[in-house]
């Protein structure tokens, strides 16, 4: 698999329709990728139109999307937070309304550094089981979302490398 490909980790009919498991290789550090997943300003540059995020275990992520004149807002609680390594979100409201009693919708991101790349393993697990058409739509949607994350992080990494280091005056550069 090259860095530009997403790999679908489902195994044909063995995989339940309530789990989407994918991974992508990103040419960026785990720190850049983790920040893109947990910082409100970063999230609003690639994932949603507006966001707030209390980036810690027990903190809350709120994301808003505009679609024409309508908008949607989702809310999640961060249930696992390992800086540079992993973040899990328990969706309280995934933008379609509050979760049903006893229902769980979680999204997990695990990051692994691999030879100058970051591998992102994503698992979207929802207790509700969508019909085949909805599942296919969600599965394809995750391809788009992860490609957006990849593109954003790789651009971010390149721009950080292109910035000149801050100039520190030396004792010899002072003019008498």
- Concatenated DSSP letters of 74-107: EEEEEEEEETTTEEEEEEEE-SSSBPPTT--EEE
Whether 152 maps to a domain, the answer reads no
Percentage of the chain surpassing pLDDT 90? 60
Whether 98 maps to a domain, the answer reads yes
115: pLDDT strictly greater than 60: yes
174: pLDDT strictly greater than 70: no
Q: What is the per-residue DSSP string for 106-118?
A: EEEEEEEEETTEE
CATH number for the domain harbouring residue 112? 3.30.530.20
The structural domain count of the chain equals 1
- Provide the 8-state DSSP code for 29: -
- Are 108 and 85 in contact by the 8 Å Cβ rule? The answer is no
* Average pLDDT of the chain to the nearest whole number: 85
Whether 170 maps to a domain, the answer reads no
Whether 103 maps to a domain, the answer reads yes
pTM: 0.79
Q: Which comes out higher in pLDDT, residue 40 or 175?
A: 40
11: pLDDT strictly greater than 70: no
158: pLDDT strictly greater than 50: yes
Q: Which domain holds residue 103?
A: 16-144
Burial pattern 86-105, b for ≥16 Cβ within 10 A else e, equals bbbbbbeebeeeebeeeeeb
Confidence band for 83, pLDDT divided at 50, 70 and 90 = very high
Whether 7 maps to a domain, the answer reads no
């Amino acid at each position: 698999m090259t860095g530009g490909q997403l790999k679908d980790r489902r195994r044909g009919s063995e995989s339940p329709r309530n789990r989407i498991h994918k991974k992508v290789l990103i040419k960026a550090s785990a720190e850049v990728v983790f920040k893109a997943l947990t910082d409100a300003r970063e999230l609003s540059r690639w994932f949603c139109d507006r966001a707030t995020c209390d980036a810690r275990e027990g903190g809350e992520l709120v994301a808003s999307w505009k679609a024409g004149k309508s908008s949607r807002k989702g809310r999640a609680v961060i249930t696992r937070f390992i800086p540079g390594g992993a973040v899990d979100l328990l969706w309280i409201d995934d933008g379609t309304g509050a979760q049903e009693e006893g229902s769980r919708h979680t999204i997990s991101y695990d990051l692994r550094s691999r030879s100058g790349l970051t591998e992102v393993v994503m698992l979207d697990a929802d207790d509700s089981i969508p019909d085949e058409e909805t599942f296919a739509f969600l599965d394809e949607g995750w391809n788009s979302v992860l490609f957006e994350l990849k593109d954003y992080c790789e651009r971010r990494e390149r721009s950080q490398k292109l910035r000149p280091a801050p100039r520190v005056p030396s004792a010899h550069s002072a003019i008498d």
